[in-house]
């Protein structure tokens, strides 16, 4: 914790004691906006991550040629 004292002292010397309240106020507002943005971003991810209700969604696609679906025991016809 004593390190924070040195940091505050260095900031006071660089910016002057009269600017410290303004700097602290701006840092507080910035962190509040940052947290608000994180919260809004997480809410959007949660909404987009939920699966659609059953029966709604993209139509199933056919497998690529040459690949049979699982459980399909068909064999290619051979001629002798």
Q: What tens digit of pLDDT does each residue of 21-59 get?
A: 888 899 999 999 999 998 887 776 666 556 656 666 666
Cβ atoms of residues 62 and 56 within 8 Å = no
Look-up of token digits 């059953």: 54
Q: What beta strand segments (E) does the chain contain?
A: none
- Say which DSSP state 11 is in: H
> Can you give the pLDDT at residue 49?
58
Q: Among 7-11, 42-46, 69-73, which range has the highest average pLDDT? A: 7-11
Q: How many C-beta atoms lie closer than 10 Å to residue 32's C-beta? A: 10
């Amino acid at each position: 914790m004593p390190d924070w004292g040195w940091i505050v002292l260095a900031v006071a010397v660089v910016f002057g004691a009269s600017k410290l309240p303004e700097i602290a106020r701006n840092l507080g507002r910035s962190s509040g906006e940052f947290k608000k943005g994180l919260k809004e971003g997480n809410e959007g991810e949660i909404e987009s991550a939920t699966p659609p209700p059953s029966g709604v969604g993209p139509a199933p696609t056919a497998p690529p040629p040459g690949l049979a679906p699982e459980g399909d025991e068909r064999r290619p016809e051979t001629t002798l």
